[in-house]
Amino acid sequence: MIDTVNHGQKGHVRELRLARPPANAFNGALLEELARLIEAAPNGGAEALVISGSPGMFTGGLDVPELLGLGRDEVRAFWGRFYATLRTVAAAEIPVAAAITGHSPAAGAVLSVFCDYRVIADGPFKIGMNEVQVGLVPPLPLQYAMKRLTGPRQGDALLVAGALLSPAEALRVGLVDEVVAPDRVVPAAVAWGERLAALPKAAMRETRRVARADLVAQFDALGDAALDEATERWFSPETQQALRALVARLAATKR
């Protein structure tokens, strides 16, 4: 479900390419594989990571059709895996860039905000935490990470509206760092990784660890109550109705 590619003459930058068609949607197995590869990368010689998707689609977010078929205990376990994977990204030993190769709604935007750097493809693509539009409430760590990039006032407005932004709008509000041609997304992210890999390693990594400690702390503050709350919200009538309507719309577009 994830292809790995080493870049550069010395292979310092490793690309983790999401490969779960058609939308690279996250289920428990994909999240677990992503976390495992991130944690293993430094011991494998990588000094920076790039998480990418397929042309036109970074990731469509959560695999809602699969998740709708799960029971309460399974959904609760999924939320635990989701938070654990995001913490792994936030606490990664080496820098992580999101090469946003296309659409990146909901959990796609969530993944990107926990990376160090974000490069998005120019084009008719949308990115944003649109959870409210499908009846979900972004948990506190996700809201914190969004507002950490865009600022509190603007972040609040984007989250409450469940806004989806164009690449240019995302750049303007600080949700992404670069907008480039689609064929330049991965090279631009790799170039960023190579620049950091060329710095004195110990100084760069320790500075980065301290600078990102607040992101990691958001997850360390979560307890069992957060998983219970996310599970209850998932099974609320309003959320279930909105999610099933979403699945129906997606199915209709495939006909």
- Residue 89 inside a domain? The answer is yes
Within a domain: residue 14? yes
Residue 167 covered by a domain:
yes
Please report the pLDDT score of residue 211 as a whole number. Answer: 98
Backbone phi and psi for residue 165, each to the nearest 5 degrees, phi listed first:
-115, 150
Overall pTM surpassing 0.85 (yes/no): yes
Query: What is residue 139's predicted lDDT score, i.e. its pLDDT?
Result: 94
Q: Provide the CATH number for the domain around residue 156.
A: 3.90.226.10
Per the structure, the count of domains in the chain is 1
pLDDT at 82: 97
Please report whether residue 197 resides in a domain.
yes
pLDDT at 244: 93
**pLDDT value at residue 98:** 98
Residue 42 counted as domain residue: yes
pLDDT at 175: 98
> What pLDDT shows up at residue 11?
84
- The neighbouring-strand residues paired with 108 are none
Residues spanned by the domain of 105: 2-201
Tokens representing 213? 């400690």
Residue 20 belongs to a domain:
yes
Which residues make beta-bridge pairs with 16?
Answer: 4, 51
What pLDDT shows up at residue 193? Answer: 97
State residue 255's pLDDT score.
63
Q: Is 244 among the domain residues?
A: no
Residue 210 falls inside a structural domain: no
pLDDT, residue 32, reads: 97
Mean pLDDT by 10 residues, the chain (255 residues): 85 96 96 98 96 98 96 97 98 98 98 98 98 93 98 98 98 98 98 96 98 96 92 95 89 73
Tokens 């999610």, residue?
A: 243
Query: How many angstroms separate the Cα of 217 from the Cα of each of 84, 91, 98, 213?
Result: 12, 10, 21, 6
198's tokens: 């060329």
What pLDDT score does 9 carry? 66
